[in-house]
Amino acid sequence: MNSKKIEIEVLEYTFTELNSVSQHLIEVAKENTKKSYAPYSNYSVGAAVLLENGEIISGSNQENAAYPSGLCAERTAIFYANAMYPDVAPKILAIAAFYNGNFVDEPISPCGSCRQVLLETETRYKKDMQILLYGENRIYLISSVKKLLPLAFNEQNLKK
């Protein structure tokens, strides 16, 4: 039996340590929590995607009375970006969450389905996408989606 360790690198920042582009994206993601439709969980998530053409695409979670029909903020943003600009790679995705009257203390973590979708986008455009996860106490920066989803199922698995 072999034991393998798979480690990922996460960079931890305070808000003021971030560059102005990242700070702005986080501000936009925080603002976008206000556009969330989350009457069932009351957990409002905002996303902001910076594209290579400089455009910033917004997203927020959109819930549904039939719970699984709702969609996370990351996927509303990334699908919209891909649909609007199919030829433009996303560079940075920032996420923030507002719950119980405050932005969450610890960095919000994208769910497994969002990681899978983000990985597809990163693979499709052959460009690493930085992920910024906002928390009041700390901000995580992960340099690519690959790191967020080790041992992922991907297009290679479908090759003959």
State which of positions 119-158 bind ligand THU (CB under 6 A).
Answer: none
Q: CB-wise, 36 or 82, nearer to ligand THU?
A: 36
34-52 exposure pattern, b = at least 16 Cβ within 10 A, e = fewer: eebebeeeebbbbbbbbbe
Question: Which region, judged by CB under 6 A, interacts with ligand THU, from 25-33, 77-85, 103-111, 146-154?
Answer: 103-111
Beta pairing, strands 102-103 & 56-60? unpaired
Q: Where would I find the H helices in the chain? A: 20-32, 73-84, 112-125, 145-148
Q: Which of 12, 74, 120, 155 is catalytic?
A: 74
Q: Which is nearer to ligand THU, 39 or 86 (CB)?
A: 39
Of 148, 133, 116, 156, the C-alpha closest to 22 is: 133
Among 116, 152, 148, 151, which residue's Cα sits nearest to residue 8?
148
108 binds ligand THU (CB under 6 A): yes
Compute the least distance from the CB of residue 102 to ligand THU, in Å.
15
CA 111 and chain centroid, separation: 9
Query: Could you say which of 70, 120, 138, 152 contacts ligand THU (CB under 6 A)?
Result: 70
User: Is 74 a known active-site residue?
Assistant: yes
- Specify the residue, 74 or 122, whose C-beta has the smaller distance to ligand THU: 74
Residue 33 structure tokens: 């929590």
Binding mask 9-38 for ligand THU (x = CB under 6 A): -----------------------------x
Number of residues that bind ligand THU (CB under 6 A): 14
For residue 81, what are its two tokens? 């970006």
Contact between 97 and 90 (Cβ < 8 Å): no
Instruction: Supply the residues annotated as catalytic.
Output: 74
Per CB under 6 A, residues contacting ligand THU are 38, 41, 43, 45, 61, 63, 70, 72-74, 108, 110-111, 114
